[in-house]
Structure 1
Amino acid sequence: MSSFICSVCDIYGKDQIFSTDYNHWTRRDVDELRKWAWAYKDATTLAERRQIFDTYGVRWSSFWLLEYWDPTRMLVIDAMHCILEGIVHYHCRHVLRLDSSAPKVSSDGLKVAFDWPWIPYSPEAAGPSSLLHEKHIAAVVKIQETLCISLSGKNSLSLEKMWTRLNNQSTKGPLDFVVRSLGLPGELVNIDQAITSLYIARAKAKSTRKDKAKDQLSFPHGQPATTKHHLIALLLNWRLQQPHSSEAYIIPTGTADTLAFIQKVIQEIIKPAHIPSVPKNFGEAKAGSIKANEWQWLSTLHLPVALVILWGDNDGIAPLADDSEAGYLLKALDHTMALFQATAIACRYVTTENRALAYRQYMKVWTRDLQTLFPHIRGSTPRPNIHAAAHIYDFLLLFGPVLSWWCFPFERLIGVLQKINTNDHTGGTSLPA
């Protein structure tokens, strides 16, 4: 995913997927969306259309012929795919690693070495003299992500490769914005020897001067940072002062014993007849693709029972929430239950304003603590579902319980249609001659 643009609010950029600052989200301007939707329709080349979509997140739809069409209020986010097959699946398989094929994770293998409270680009943050063209805004996030990559360990980058990546990712403008957002000086002072040596080596490699002239190249100590490579030198000098590799604690959630106990609970639990069965070999490849309905019951019945017994019960009392292994597992349990409680509320047959608020609060807790408790997911593929799930709160207030507007009925209808025998004749069954 090259960039992220929300269709409901003004959130822009992959770094904003984990934003829970709901009070500062503003709904997108419908007139602006309509303008670019028509521009998409009138575009004469595929490149123009791609540019419009990448910049504004809008494509043409016949709904725009309706004067009252407002996709920010009328185009709902499907809870079945977003929560059950999206976030619940992601949390169980990738966050908790409740999967027999999940790789073992250690802090030495983490791609991201540390978190930083990056300032996202905005005209206000940039100031009148440092405004960026829209096509360059995405480079700010790429620079910030690159600076957090480990400098040692299995998935690390060397200082030279980090320099090359920063050089290839951006023009001077985004680099200058990141330098300013970090409060770095505008002069090349107190630069680490490793940076100055690398600067000179790269300058010599690109120089067309004769050998003697190359030997006279030096680092411009004390001079203003006016070029792209000056800015990169400032950023890498700052990077060397941060952790070179991750020292995060990886919570041992996805062990073979944990998975075996969950399977035992699934097999032995006594449940009402109306609750459907779920795969008894959950977590194994033989279980196949778990359906949305199965994720619903796994997250609201089987997994809560199993995980509370495993991580929340220490001879009849809860473990201490300290830095011991039991304490971290308790934190993982509390975090997991926040998601499961949000899922249970969203799937209720009746909703109220208080339930919608509770749903949003539980999702906020889950989103806020996700990268802190589970550092192995940092640097992984961004999940737009995480942001989209927050907007389900809006649609609970607008349209009521999700069972009245989620995709289960349509999925069942598709299943029925797929089972109709057409004898491989498009349009229906073949008729006798």
Structure 2
Amino acid sequence: MHNKYFTPRRATQAHLAGVHDILLWTNQYNGDSETIFKLLPKDPRTLSARFLLEPTTTTYICCPECHKLYPFIPNDRPANPQICDYRKTPASEPCGAKLWKERDYGPYGIRSSPVKKYVHQDLKSWLGRLLSRPGIENLLENRAVDAKSEVDDIWGGEVFRNFKDRAGNPYYPGPDNELRLAFSLSVDGFDPYQNKVAKQSAASTGIWMVLLNLPPHLRYLEENIYVAGVIPGPSKPSSDQLNHYMELIVREAKEFWENGVFFSRTFEHRLGRLARSIIAPLVCDLLGARQVIGYPGTLTAHYFCTACDLDLDDIHVIEPSLWPAKDIGEIRMFAQLYRDAPNEKLQQYIFQGSGWRWSPLFELEYWDPVKFTAIDSMHSLDLNLVKNHCRVLFKIDTKKPSGDASRTPALTVVKRLNADSDSSELSSLERCQGVIFDNTRTLAYDLLGFHRSILYTFCLDYGINRLGGSSDKTLVGTRWVLAKYIYRWRQEQENVGLKDFLQRYPKLSTQMEEMLDARNSNTPERSEPAPSSTGTSSESATGRSQLPKPAVLRKFAHGLLSLESADSSDAMKLYLRLTSQTLEHFCHILEINPILPSQPQPQPQPRANKKKMLFELVVRQMLESEELRDKLLGQYPEEEGGLSGSAFLGKDVMEAIWSDMKATRLPSWISPVPHDWGSTRRGKLSANNWRIIAVIHLPITLIRLYGHTEGRKRDLLSNFMELVKAIRIATMNATTQQQIDQYNSLILRYSAGVKQLFPDYEILPSHHMSLHIGDTLRHFGPKHSHDSPHYERYINLFHRMNNNHKLGDLEGTLLRTSVRHANIIAMLKDDTGLLETASNLVQRMTMNDKERLRGFRLAEMFSLDSSLEDGNGRHRSGELDVFCHNLLCSVLQAPPTERNVSVSRRVVFLEAITHRNSVYAVWNSLRYKDSAILYIDQEGSRNAGVIQEIFKLDHRYSSGKAVVLPFVILRKYNQMAEQEDPYRQYGIAGGFSCELELTSTIEIVAMSQVLCHVAVTSFAEHNFTHILPINRELLSLDLELEETLEEP
């Protein structure tokens, strides 16, 4: 109870004492009672030790400032370090933080203890325990890596198929006497208090590794996940502080990779065997992944993409062929330069210029952060793209009528120096020209010392485009990419642009001189700045000479006011649109001194740094002061009627969606969305909520409302349905190259449509990352093999555990408790003696678990091994009536060779059955929600119906083969004519319309012809029923239906 259900230790002690009294009272023991009672423990910790449930761990003293780790020697303070002496670089000052604190224990005196401790679980011990379990090794070795057209797991992806060991041979399966393993790595922060303890805000960080050799339905279970440790709070380790913890992971990973680890005995090999392992992929949210691999972790970093070298200024470029590729050799070079830099100033120079810090993962010779960093669809698609589309593009307004979400085009902005550039920027451009003119051997690296806008301006003025002198006029790329462009251009002695530069030097370019002449002239009209060849930027050139219009200022003001309840993507979008001058204007209104406390005298700041500091200052002051928020609201009140009709999801549409949700019957495995989502009463929604809203509820209502119309609202719908189709493909349980190509096409069409329909929309990094999901599917197979919900579920498990709420201590408690929990679950499954001795206890626990089956526990229960078992265990024997028996005969005797085969009327009727990892049930049962299905009829057409009966038949074919065949008896829906159905134009993502009521005709269908569940929405007032297939295992069904539709 203590380790399985997290019953508090004192309660468990009381429970054990009660067991002691019951045994004493009933006298149900024989022999020496004193011996028996000695064996009966009084504390659950005794049982944990007796059954070896405790993990093998190493405890470290953790510096509260820099997170440096020192081995902890218990009960010997003099042997432990007292002060942190860590230096980030040889020239850095030592940290100097105190590692110990004094605690008053009353009559026991004052004792010292570490301020923070980090507990790390030993990977070798964890794996050794796993290999001692029956049947595990056979599962670990049963991974297929052959190239197939349809990939159903990570081992069929390009990365694992082509991965080589140190000898250059295929890594998997390896020699017969070796065990070849692969782990995915996840790192994520969470609030250990769940925001429930005195409104404290804290963050601890978990580190997990998933053994990918296990089948998908087993690998994400608690008992099979390796928890490396929980990093102590109250805040997450910043920048490269995480490296101290990753070094422990890499140290063990290197041993497994280079020499392997020999286990003296496993369950299947009594003489032992060698095991090797790799770490790939990295599965984290966007910001977490950046920090782990040593990439910038801020929302406004120019180096924002882990998969390509596109710069944040170029984020609007959605054509993949224009994105510069990353070079793993250059990445490793910059990471090593950062690690070996003698001082922090040089480290910062390298990081700002290249975007890379050192990560211990680079010590693994096979590590490739570009390929191995999986783009997580849960965060990129559900929590970002879908949420952003609904809240920002469509907009939700439950008080005003819906509109068409019209937008005014954003002001044309530039990324280059121009007539409005200040003297410091022009001086920087002149220095840059001098460096280029000198053309030293280190030219490319010297150029990293200049801001990207300087390099961009030079490239634009002299026609420097892409590597190799391409004539493509699109100029995109990070600072390092532009530096390489200039370096190669500088070496081309016959280049016309280079000759022009050498003749003009030290003058600026002709284009730049003309801009400056216009600025210096006394004419009242100033020439417009030259437009960028690529579009947008975070700072407008015209924005520094005048404030935006009052309507725009009002929009910015209300954006600032909403940041308290907004997420990071909303904050970033607002930041990108603001200018330094606008922020100074708000400071003036709010009477905020724009000079920071750490900066007592005004000092000139670079434009980007100034904007960032002003933004942080205004946001911080407003969040801390309600008076300031009221003052800004008073200055920019919301205009009555000014926003009416601007939200596509207005009051009337939202009420229609909520009404349709009530009329929609979903399978029981889908968690319902809050009935009032989008209203101010409802808080934040989960990723699962947003996906269900996008894939199910919005298509049902929006197609009904606008599927027959023309104009902008129809265009909004069609654009959104491109996203829905892309999400359905990205979340399938198997993938093919055709599906990947289809996803890429859909997400590109969606992105292009967004730019056209919402001309003021600035693409977010998460939107850009969704354009790389096709690469992740190709590298690592379908979504389930590199998905992130597993660590989100583990965080939920942490929240159920008891702890002392003391940061620095509770993290170790979470680790040990979770491992004991995992070990006792494994023991209950594997120990046959215990299963026999405590059969009633185990049966009751199993029944409790079935009551809350979700996610991977559900997948485990409905694995392929039990695909034809009765889902509820209830069945009855009986006979088919004459009509149903004749229908069954027509099915089984349809092949010419089976026409004379006898078909019995005796069958076993079931209430529910599992098929393709889903439960199907009869209509008149408690699981009636699982009775609506999509199936293939005898003519090969797809139809929807409702299951009336399920039965199994013992049958013998004409060949003599005896089988048990499952069938369903159903009533179907008659489909409406295609020309009358607005849903069919969107393929399977839109579903199809049927007559309102089921037909009275009975059909019998083999269970193998059942494709998936459907969502059923009855529109009595419109006299039709809508059917929407929703099972993720449709595989290529979307593509088959899409092929019948003409592309727009």
Shared fold (TM-score, shorter chain, > 0.5):
yes
Structure having the higher strand fraction is 2
- Please give the per-residue CA displacement for 1:188-215, whole angstroms capped at 9, x wherever unaligned: 49x8943369xxxxxxxxxxxxxxxxxx
Deviations 1:58-117 (A, max 9, x none): 222111001121111111111111111111111111111125599x9999996923589x
Find the counterpart in structure 2 of residue 30 from structure 1.
328
Superposed CA deviations along residues 344-394 of structure 1, whole A, max 9, x for unmatched, are 11111111111111111111012122232123434xxx5111111111111
Asked whether the 8 Å contact 2:403–2:647 carries over to 1, the reply is no
Q: Which residue pairs with 1:411 in the alignment?
A: 792
Whether contact under 8 Å (2:407, 2:759) holds in the other structure is no
2:302 paired with 1:3: yes
Letter of the 2:741 partner, please give it. Answer: L
Whether contact under 8 Å (1:19, 1:387) holds in the other structure is: no
Structure 1 residue 319 corresponds to structure 2 residue 701: no
CA shift in 2, pair 1:177/1:418, >3 Å:
farther
Q: Distance in 2 between matches of 1:289 and 1:193?
A: 55
Matched, 1:138 2:477: no
Residues of 2 paired with 1:272 and 1:136: CA distance?
A: 58
For residues 239-284 of structure 1, the C-alpha deviation after alignment (integer angstroms, 9 at most, x for no partner) is 99xxxx99xxx96413222222222222221222222101111111
Corresponding letter in the other structure for 2:699: P
2:524 maps to: 194
| Separation of aligned partners in 2, 1:341 and 1:257 | 26
Amino acid at match of 1:11: L
Aligned: 1:76 with 2:390: no
- 2:697 and 2:413 mapped to 1: Cα distance? 34
- Correspondences of 1:242-321 after superposition (within 5 Å): 252-312=647-707, 318-320=708-710
**Cα distance in 2, alignment partners of residues 395 and 349 from structure 1:** 14
Q: Residue in 2 aligned with 1:340?
A: 724
Measure how far apart 1:289 and its partner are: 1.2
Q: Contact 1:95 / 1:374 at 8 angstroms: preserved in 2?
A: yes
Q: 1:376 to 1:11 in 2, by over 3 A?
A: closer
TM-score normalised by the chain length of structure 1: 0.65
For residue 377 of structure 1, give the secondary structure of its aligned residue in structure 2.
coil
User: Deviations along 1:136-190, whole A, 9 cap, x unmatched?
Assistant: 45336999xxxxxxxxxxxxxxxxxxxxxxxxxxxxx9xx78957xx9789649x
The alignment partner of 1:194 has SS state of: coil
Partner of 1:371: 755
With over 3 angstroms needed to count, the CA separation of the structure-2 counterparts of 1:261 and 1:64, relative to structure 1, is same
Structure 2: which amino acid aligns with 1:261?
Answer: A
Q: Distance in 2 between matches of 1:293 and 1:309?
A: 24
Matched, 1:95 2:390: no
Give per-residue Cα distances to partners, 1:17-64, cap 9 Å, x unaligned: 232222233431101101111222233555544443333222221110
Distance in 2, Cα, partners of 1:194 & 1:377:
33
Is the CA contact (8 Å cut-off) linking 1:4 and 1:384 kept in structure 2? no
Unaligned runs of 5+ in 1: 121-125, 144-172, 198-234, 313-317, 321-326
The 8 Å contact of residues 82 and 388 in structure 1, kept in 2 or not, is answered as: yes
Describe the shift of the 1:107–1:354 C-alpha distance in structure 2 as closer, same or farther (beyond 3 A). Answer: closer
Match of 1:151 in 2: none
* Residues 123-202 of structure 1 aligned to structure 2 (within 5 Å): 133-139=447-453, 179=511, 188=518, 193-195=523-525
SS, match of residue 421 in structure 1: coil
Task: Find the counterpart in structure 2 of residue 64 from structure 1.
Answer: 362
Task: Tell me if the contact between 1:266 and 1:302 (Cα under 8 Å) persists in the aligned partners.
Answer: yes
Q: Distance in 2 between matches of 1:177 and 1:86?
A: 42
Mapped contact 2:735–2:777 kept (Cα < 8 A): yes
SS in structure 1 at match of 2:715: helix
- CA distance, structure 1, for counterparts of residue 518 and residue 647 of structure 2: 44
Identify the range of structure 1 (420-429 vs 294-303) with the bigger mean alpha-carbon deviation. Answer: 420-429
CA distance in 1, matches of 2:738, 2:680: 40
Q: Distance in 1 between matches of 2:757 and 2:373?
A: 33
1:428 alignment counterpart: 813
Identity %: 25
Check the 8 A contact 2:361/2:367 in 1, yes or no: yes
Cross-structure match for 2:734: 350
1:3 aligned partner, one-letter code: H
CA distance in 1, matches of 2:676, 2:374: 34
Cα gap change, 1:101/1:10 in structure 2, threshold over 3 Å: closer, same or farther? farther
**Amino acid corresponding to residue 288 of structure 1 in structure 2:** G
1:133–1:372 CA distance, 2 compared to 1 (3 A): farther
Does 2:112 match 1:112? no
CA distance in 2, matches of 1:141, 1:264: 56
Paired residue type of 1:308: I
Distance 1:364 1:115 in 2: 24
Shift in alpha-carbon separation, 1:423–1:42, aligned structure 2, 3 A: same
Letter in 1 for 2:679: E
Alignment RMSD, CA only? Answer: 4.3
SS of corresponding position for 1:280: coil
Q: Which amino acid aligns with 1:428?
A: T
Give the TM-score taking structure 2 as reference length: 0.28
**Partners of 1:100 and 1:136 in 2: how far apart?**
49
Q: Which has the higher contact order (CA 8 A, sep 6+)?
A: 1
Residue 251 of structure 1 contacts residue 329 of structure 1 at CA under 8 Å; is this kept in 2? no
CA offsets 1:278-299 (integer angstroms, 9 cap, x no match): 1111111322111111112111
Instruction: Answer whether contact 1:52 1:58 (CA < 8 A) is retained.
Output: yes
Inter-CA distance 106–23: structure 2 relative to 1 (3 Å threshold):
closer
> Structure 1 pair 106/333, CA: closer, same or farther in 2 (3 Å)?
closer
Question: 1:361 is matched with which residue: 745, 750, 754?
Answer: 745
Structure 2: unaligned runs, 5 residues or longer: 1-299, 418-431, 438-443, 458-504, 528-540, 553-644, 818-1048
Q: In structure 1, the residue corresponding to 2:772 is in which secondary structure?
A: helix
Instruction: Give deviations 1:379-432, integer Å, cap 9, x for gaps.
Output: xxx51111111111111111111111010111101110121111335232899x
Q: Give the stretch that moved more between structures: 420-429 or 258-267.
A: 420-429
State whether residues 399 and 651 of structure 2, in contact with CA within 8 Å, keep that contact through their aligned partners in structure 1. no
Question: Aligned pair in 2 of structure 1 residues 407, 141: CA closer, same or farther (>3 Å)?
Answer: farther
Instruction: Identify the residue that residue 391 of structure 1 maps to in structure 2.
Output: 772
- 1:364 maps to amino acid: L
| 3-state SS, counterpart of residue 15 of structure 1 | helix
